[in-house]
Amino acid sequence: MRALTVFFALVATLAGAYAGFYVMRELGPDDLSGQFGRGDAATEGGTLLQSENFARVKEALERELGADGRIQQLSVEPLQASSTSTVDGRMVRVQVDTAGRSQKEDVGEGTESGTMPVAKLDPKAVDRITRAAMKETGSPVESLSLYGANREWRVEMLRGEPDSFIANLNGRGLRLSGEPNPDPLGASPDSLMRAKNFQKVLDAIGKEGNRVLDITLWPERASVVVEKGGRAVNLNYGYDAELTSRDVAALNGAQTESIPLKSIDPKAIERMAKSRYVKGLKHAMYAILRPAGVFEDAPQWLLYLPQGNDPTYVTASIKGRGLSWPGRG
């Protein structure tokens, strides 16, 4: 019996010693309360789902990733954010707490495909999303996730219906997945319809070939067919002209004409959008460049406009001039 008493006394002594050690580590000479995720700074002053605090996330990512860092995915919860990013060909994971403290881990080789620059993060987007989502459901947002490939936020709600939404990079256009985007992207800074961004696509195409069979251009992506070596090279590009897919196929019967790449004017879509019938890039839905064919004796742009517009689309030369549409007198 005495031996048992001694044993339990020893256990109690060891437990007290370990408890004292952890207390000392937090508050004593090895105080860690100022480190990542520890201390009052990690929990006071609001959450990362507020723009003033989310700004610390952007600052931390810029500090950890540098000017050339690119985000593939970013998750934001009330007390912590984590990103998967690419820096100098390496994939790194960065975690940030509400105090803006961060820690970084190298997790292997990375790719810049489907990424976006850290600089494009807009802290104000968080407030826009949380306000709009609260108005929809009466419930607070539980978490946000941003994906670099499509530059859209996914919004998870704490409760209520619907339980999730998507929103644009700037926090506008809150909607259910699959619903049309209420916030036009044709005029956005990243839109591939802007001449400076379309030029990036043309430069990327030039690495594959110098004759084009087809281009379909949306604000956020481009689909291109290039003639090369008697075959068709099917290419897809995302924002910043990032190559997202490449496939080589046989030429079909319809793919007999091609367009010299150097003849394509990156300003053509902007030029067409200036027409009073289009009323700006914000009304540009998508555009198709097709070569000469049975009904056209020269390459032609077709620019499609919002549903219900009259005309539904307009046409122009490869330079974006001579605007017309079917049935025009």
Q: Given this model, what pLDDT does residue 49 score?
A: 97
| Residue 91, token pair as written in the block | 């994939």
Strand ranges (E), the chain? 70-76, 80-87, 90-97, 102-109, 116-117, 141-147, 152-157, 164-168, 211-217, 222-228, 231-237, 243-250, 259-260, 286-290, 300-304, 313-317
**CA–CA separation, 57 vs 40, rounded Å?**
18
Q: Phi-psi bin for 313: left (phi > 0), alpha (psi -120 to 50), beta? A: beta
User: pLDDT 10s digit of each residue in the chain, 329 long?
Assistant: 444 343 334 334 433 443 443 444 444 455 445 555 555 544 455 899 999 999 999 999 999 998 778 999 999 999 999 999 988 888 999 999 999 999 999 988 887 778 899 999 999 999 999 999 999 999 999 999 999 989 999 999 999 899 999 999 999 999 999 998 888 899 999 999 999 999 999 999 999 999 999 999 999 999 999 999 889 999 999 999 999 999 999 987 665 689 999 999 999 999 999 999 999 999 999 999 988 765 567 899 999 999 888 899 999 999 999 999 987 75
pLDDT digits (tens, 9 = 90+) for 295-323: 567 899 999 999 888 899 999 999 999 99
For the chain, percent of residues with pLDDT exceeding 70: 84
- 211-217 and 164-168 as β-strands: parallel, antiparallel, unpaired? unpaired
Q: Output the six-digit token pair for 324.
A: 């017309």
Distance (Å, whole) CA 60 – CA 89: 20
